[in-house]
């Protein structure tokens, strides 16, 4: 497995990480816990060293799973988790709002450390920017946790460029996590140039478009009510019918490269910047191995230009998240 450094931080990890959200929530009924523990440990065997979770996934269930799976392998990996939602740390009840008050951040860190069965969090992200708490106060709180040895690196998720700058001025931001793929290219306008200027790494979530870029969906695909995609406009039947043109593009390139659409989608991301580390999630071993195969695919400058040119002719339909989620998080 190739490795990459997240910006100027010195945090060196595998070129692809593993997103663990879907192992316990969001995509319908979770798979058996033992199977997911085995999958996480197999990922380590395959060279994966970045594992992404959050207190909000479950809540708590994902951190507990990751903690159990990685406890025997702790010194071989980097664990990323997140704070920022208003979740009762005893009951797991969510208010539906955000909470990045300094005292709450510290309490979340302690609770996450216990669930993760570790003495330090390698990368601690603010899950969503809290408009009621100055970002300088958030960064200052993380600095205290870093100074205390409980957190190694500070991350931000779905933050605007100016907010990243303000936080970085108080305590260095190691990585920013936002959605990014051929399916959603919003970060290219302001976020990526800002990160390059400041020496901050980028960790795209949903690098396969929540499964769409694998090529396994079409207008007839339906989602269970417990699957978050059932409420996402971009996964509505009429949107899927229009958006399949993007998968057709990936499939054409994949045929030329002896690869799969998912591998081309990930290889495209990896080719954008040397400090980008995507975190595709999966619950299946064959998908894990398929994703990891993307690291070995080299797309030439000409091939990348051809993909960009063809993609620019495709108009994707439907918002990437429900409007209520976009409104709550300010995305």
Positions annotated as catalytic residues are: 57
Spatial separation of the C-alpha atoms in residues 4 and 16, rounded to whole Å: 9
Spatial separation of the C-alpha atoms in residues 184 and 45, rounded to whole Å: 31
Q: Return the H-helix or E-strand segment holding 177.
A: strand 173-179
**Which residue bears the tokens 């995609």?**
229
Spatial separation of the C-alpha atoms in residues 237 and 221, rounded to whole Å: 7
Q: Are 152 and 285 in contact (CB under 8 A)?
A: no
Q: Return the H-helix or E-strand segment holding 318.
A: none
Spatial CA neighbour of 80 closest among 180, 171, 177, 179: 177
Spatial separation of the C-alpha atoms in residues 103 and 301, rounded to whole Å: 48
């Amino acid at each position: 497995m190739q490795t990459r450094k997240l910006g100027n931080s010195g945090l060196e990890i595998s070129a692809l990480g593993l997103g663990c959200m879907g192992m316990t929530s969001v995509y319908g009924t979770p798979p058996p816990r033992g199977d997911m523990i085995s999958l996480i440990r197999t990922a380590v065997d395959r060279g994966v060293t970045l594992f992404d979770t959050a207190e909000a996934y479950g809540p708590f269930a994902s951190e507990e799973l990751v903690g159990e799976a990685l406890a025997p392998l702790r010194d071989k990996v980097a664990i990323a988790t997140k704070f920022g939602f208003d979740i009762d740390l005893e009951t797991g009840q969510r208010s539906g709002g955000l909470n990045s008050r300094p005292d709450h951040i510290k309490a979340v860190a302690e609770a996450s450390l216990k669930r993760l069965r570790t003495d330090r969090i390698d990368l601690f992200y603010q899950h969503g920017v809290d408009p009621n708490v100055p970002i300088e106060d958030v960064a200052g709180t993380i600095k205290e946790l870093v100074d205390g040895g409980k957190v190694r690196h500070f991350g931000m998720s779905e933050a605007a460029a100016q907010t990243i700058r303000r936080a970085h001025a108080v305590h260095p931001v190691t990585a920013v996590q936002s959605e990014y793929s051929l399916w959603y290219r919003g970060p290219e306008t302001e976020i990526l140039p800002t990160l390059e200027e400041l020496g901050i790494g980028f960790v795209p979530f949903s690098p396969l478009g929540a499964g769409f870029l694998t090529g396994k969906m079409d207008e007839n695909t339906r989602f269970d009510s417990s699957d978050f995609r059932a409420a996402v406009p971009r996964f509505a039947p009429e949107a899927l019918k229009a958006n399949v043109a993007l998968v057709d593009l990936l499939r054409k390139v994949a045929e030329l490269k002896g690869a799969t659409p998912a591998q081309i989608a990930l290889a495209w991301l990896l080719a954008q910047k040397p400090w980008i580390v995507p975190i595709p999630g999966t619950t299946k071993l064959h998908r894990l191995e398929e994703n990891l195969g993307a690291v070995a695919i080299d797309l030439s400058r000409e091939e990348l230009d051809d993909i960009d040119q063809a993609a620019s002719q495709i108009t994707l339909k439907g918002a990437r998240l429900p409007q209520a989620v976009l409104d709550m998080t300010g995305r």
